[in-house]
Structure 1
Amino acid sequence: MNLKSNNPFLKNKSFTKPVEATVFDAEGRPVEIIDYNNTMTINGAINKSFILLFVLLASSFFTWYMVNNGQNPYVVAITGGLIGFVMVLIASFKPNYSQYLAPAYALFEGMFIGGISAVFALYFYPEIIMQAVLGTFVTFIVCFLLYRFKIVKVTEQFKSIVVAATFAIASYYLVSWILSLFTSWQPVHHGNSLMSIGISVFVIVIAALNLFLDFDMIEQGAKKRLPKYMEWFSAMGLLITLVWLYLEILRLLAKLSSRD
C-alpha cells in the first residue's frame, strides 16, 4: 500500500526503508530476526514525542520570561523560527541525525512559540495563550482517541483529500504573502471578518486531520521496523503538526476577541 502523509516532513523516503537483517537456518532458509533495540517502535516514538514537547514548553516559558524582562519578542521569535526551519530541512535530507536535530528543533521552535505567544498576549489578553494551549491539547486527545479506536480510518481517499486541502492552504498562504509584499492587496484571511474566521476554522480542521495521518505513519513505520532514529524523526514531524495547530487556534481566538 502506498502510504502518504500530508505532513511533508513525514514523506521522507526513510519511511519506506525497513531494517535489513538476513539470517539463515541450518538448511539455508532465511530467518526473520526482529531486534527491537535497533528498530522503531510506537512506544519509542511516543516517548520521544513527550521529550520534544517538554523541551519546546521549557524553551517557550524561558522565552516568555526573557520577553517580560525586556527582550524584543520579534527578534526571539524570528531567530527561533528561522533556525527551527533549518533544523527541519536538514532532518528531511539527513533523518539519521534526527536524534540531534529533533531536540534542537524543539528548542528553537520553543523560542518562536514563546515570542509569538508573548506578542498575542500583549495585543489581546494573557488568557488567550492558555486557551490556545488547551484547545490544542483537547484537539490532539480527541483525534488520538478517534484514531486509536478506529472511529476514523485513514484510507487512501482520506489521505488524498487531506493532502489536496493542505497543498491548497500552503499555496494560498504563499501567494497571499507575496502579493502583500509587492501590492496593497489585503489577504482575505486577515482581519476579523466572518470570512476570515471561517478560513481559520477550515485551516484548524485540516491541521487536525494531519494528526490522523501522522499517527498512521508512525504506526506503519513501527510495523515496517524502520531504524531506531526514525522514532526521533517521526516525533519531530508530529511536533511540527502540533505547532501549526496551536498557531492556527491562537489566531482564531485573536480574531474572535477583536470582534468583541
Structure 2
Amino acid sequence: MSRKKGFFQSRNPVMSDRAYHKAASEVLDAGMAQSGQAVERMTVSGAVNKSLLLGALMLATAVFSYANPNPLFMYGGAIGGLIVVLIASFRPKSSPITAPIYAALEGLFVGGISAYYATAYSGIVFQAVTLTMGVFFTMLFLYKSGTIKVTNKLRSGIMMATGAVFLVYLLNFILGFFGIQVPFLHQSGMVGIGISLLIIGVAALNLLLDFDNFDKGEQYGAPKYMEWFSAMGLIITLVWLYIEILRLIALFSSND
C-alpha cells in the first residue's frame, strides 16, 4: 500500500474500510478457503438485518430507561458503551457479542438523555426521532442513487472533520473540570445554532461511510462477523446524529 493510499484510508476505528481488508485477508491467510471449509462471508442484507436487530434492542432499553429515568442508566450506558466500542475496535471478531451489548447500553444512555430533555421541552423527543430518520433516509437515497459517491478524498475529508469535532468535544470535556466551556458550543444564539448545524452535517456525512462500508464488506469478502461490526458502526452514527439534533431543537426552543 502506498503512503498516499494509506493517507486517504478512513481513520474511524469502527468503520475504517481497512478493517474489512484486514478481516478478509485473515480468512485467506488462515487457509480456510483452500482447506475446503465453508466460509461464511458478509453480505449487505446480513448487515442490514443485524442493524435492525441492534436497533430493536437499543429501542427496548431506551424505552425502559426513558420510563425509569436514572443518572446511573444514562452515565453507565454512555461509559459502558464507549468501553465496548473500544473492545470491538481492537477485536472485531468479538462483534457478535459486543455489538448487542453496546446496543443495550447505548439504549440506556439514549433513553436517559431523552427523558432529561423531555422534561424541559415538550414534544422534543418525537421531533428529534423524526428528523433523525429523515436525515437517515435522505442520505441513504443520495448514496444509493449515486448523487454522492464515496471517493477516497471524500472519505478522508469526512474523517478529518469528524476528528476535529471529536477534539473540540474532548477539549470542552477537559475544560469542564475547570468550569470553562468552549465558546458557542451548544449555546443559544445564531453562532451556537450554526455550530450545531455544522456538527449535524458532519454526523450525517458519516452515514455515507457507514453505507459504503456495508458494500465494501461484501465486495472484499469479509467474514460473517463483520456484519455485526458494520451494524454497530451504523448505530454509533445514528445515536450521535440523534443527540446532536436533540440539542439543536433545544437551542431553537430556548430562543423562543
Q: Same fold (TM over 0.5)?
A: yes
Structure 2 CA distance for partners of 1:242 and 1:34, relative to 1, 3 Å: farther
Q: Which sections of structure 2, spanning at least 5 residues, go unmatched?
A: none
If the length of structure 2 is used for normalisation, what is the TM-score?
0.89
Preserved contact between residue 7 and residue 210 of structure 1 (Cα < 8 Å) = no
Residue number in structure 1 paired with 2:146: 150
Preserved contact between residue 80 and residue 110 of structure 1 (Cα < 8 Å) = yes
**% identical aligned pairs:** 43
Residue number in structure 1 paired with 2:67: 65
Residue number in structure 1 paired with 2:236: 240
Which region of structure 1 is more displaced relative to structure 2, 10-19 or 203-212?
A: 10-19
Give the whole-Å Cα distance in 2 for the aligned partners of 1:48 and 1:6: 23
Preserved contact between residue 93 and residue 226 of structure 2 (Cα < 8 Å) = yes
Residue number in structure 1 paired with 2:82: 85
Q: How many residues are aligned here?
A: 245
Give the whole-Å Cα distance in 2 for the aligned partners of 1:93 and 1:83: 16
Preserved contact between residue 7 and residue 241 of structure 1 (Cα < 8 Å) = no
Structure 2 CA distance for partners of 1:58 and 1:180, relative to 1, 3 Å: same
- Which residues in structure 2 correspond to 1:127-142 (within 5 Å)? 127-142=123-138
Cα-Cα RMSD: 2.0
Give the whole-Å Cα distance in 1 for the aligned partners of 2:184 and 2:113: 21
CA apart distance, 1:186: 5.4
Give the whole-Å Cα distance in 1 for the aligned partners of 2:18 and 2:182: 39
CA apart distance, 1:157: 1.5
2:11 maps to 1:15: no
- 1:224 maps to amino acid: Y
Preserved contact between residue 128 and residue 246 of structure 2 (Cα < 8 Å) = yes
- 1:107 maps to amino acid: A
Q: What SS does the corresponding residue of 1:153 show, helix, strand or coil?
A: coil
Give the whole-Å Cα distance in 2 for the aligned partners of 1:112 and 1:256: 23
Give the whole-Å Cα distance in 2 for the aligned partners of 1:239 and 1:245: 10
Residue number in structure 2 paired with 1:112: 109
- 2:184 maps to amino acid: V
Residue number in structure 2 paired with 1:252: 248
Give the whole-Å Cα distance in 2 for the aligned partners of 1:118 and 1:12: 36
CA apart distance, 1:190: 3.1
Larger Rg: 1 or 2? Answer: 1
Structure 2 CA distance for partners of 1:107 and 1:141, relative to 1, 3 Å: same
Of 22, 39, 42 in structure 2, the residue corresponding to residue 40 of structure 1 is 42
- Which residues in structure 2 correspond to 1:105-254 (within 5 Å)? 105-125=102-122, 127-185=123-181, 187-254=183-250
Structure 2 CA distance for partners of 1:185 and 1:143, relative to 1, 3 Å: closer
Which region of structure 1 is more displaced relative to structure 2, 14-23 or 189-198?
A: 14-23
Q: What SS does the corresponding residue of 1:10 show, helix, strand or coil?
A: coil
Preserved contact between residue 63 and residue 111 of structure 2 (Cα < 8 Å) = yes
Give the whole-Å Cα distance in 1 for the aligned partners of 2:80 and 2:176: 24
Structure 2 CA distance for partners of 1:190 and 1:151, relative to 1, 3 Å: closer
Residues 197-223 of structure 1: per-residue CA shift (max 9 Å, x gap): 000000000000000011111211111
- 1:60 maps to amino acid: A
Preserved contact between residue 54 and residue 231 of structure 2 (Cα < 8 Å) = yes
Which region of structure 1 is more displaced relative to structure 2, 250-259 or 9-18?
A: 9-18
CA apart distance, 1:11: 2.3
Q: Which sections of structure 1, spanning at least 5 residues, go unmatched?
A: 25-32
Residue number in structure 2 paired with 1:27: none
- 1:95 maps to amino acid: P
Preserved contact between residue 9 and residue 17 of structure 2 (Cα < 8 Å) = no
